Amino acid sequence: MKKPNAISKATIDRLPLYFRTLRLLQDEGRDIISSDELGRRLGITPEQIRKDLASFGQFGKKGVGYYVNELKRNIGGILGLDNHWNIAIVGIGHLGVALANYQNFVTLGFNLVALFDQDPNVIGRTVNHVKVEDVRRLKAIVKERNIQIGIIAVPAAFAQGVADLLVDAGVKGIWNFAPIKMKVPETMHIVNEDLSIGLSTLSYHITRM
């Protein structure tokens, strides 16, 4: 297997697409899928799929295709989804509540173990069976519950402060929904989800139809 830093970001970004499609195929009761059909479902050439998968080892059988359950298990292992990461959400407004109720966290192997907010009217409430804690207790709870991933769902003005708290608490990764560029150590893995960018891009294309 290639070293992680030798594998392109584009290849890594396609792995979750493969995993999601294989999950759907499982639900359909499919046992085997060819690279041609997988490519048609995803809009990716079969050559690219074979090249991506070859970066991590030998999968499938020539003339037969890929065994759905086996390939899904292998890609899940590559993505680290079998680690059952503990996650926490900071900011229990509308977005935070929606994320807390996202059922696919469990399906993907992520365990929602903590919710945080600073609003006294929110602290103490329960969302999806998880109690909302005072954000001032974040560091202690991160260590106590072995939380590896923090999700930021607060307004932009508070986001950097929350990121600093999560870094100080020792999380390994941050999923940020605030529309700002975070300043975090180079060793911190961060993924930014700016919903406004997606909608604005969609608006651009619709306007020019």
Binding site residue list for NAD(+): 91-96
Q: Kindly give the pairing relationship between strand 86-90 and strand 126-127.
A: unpaired
Q: Which residues are annotated as a binding site?
A: 91-96
Q: How far apart are CA 146 and CA 59, in angstroms?
A: 34
How far apart, in whole angstroms, are the C-alpha atoms of residue 184 and residue 168?
10
Q: Residue 65 — left, alpha, or beta (φ > 0 → left; ψ -120 to 50 → alpha)? A: left
- Treating both helix axes as pointing N-terminal to C-terminal, what angle do 9-27 and 68-79 enclose, rounded to 10 degrees? 140
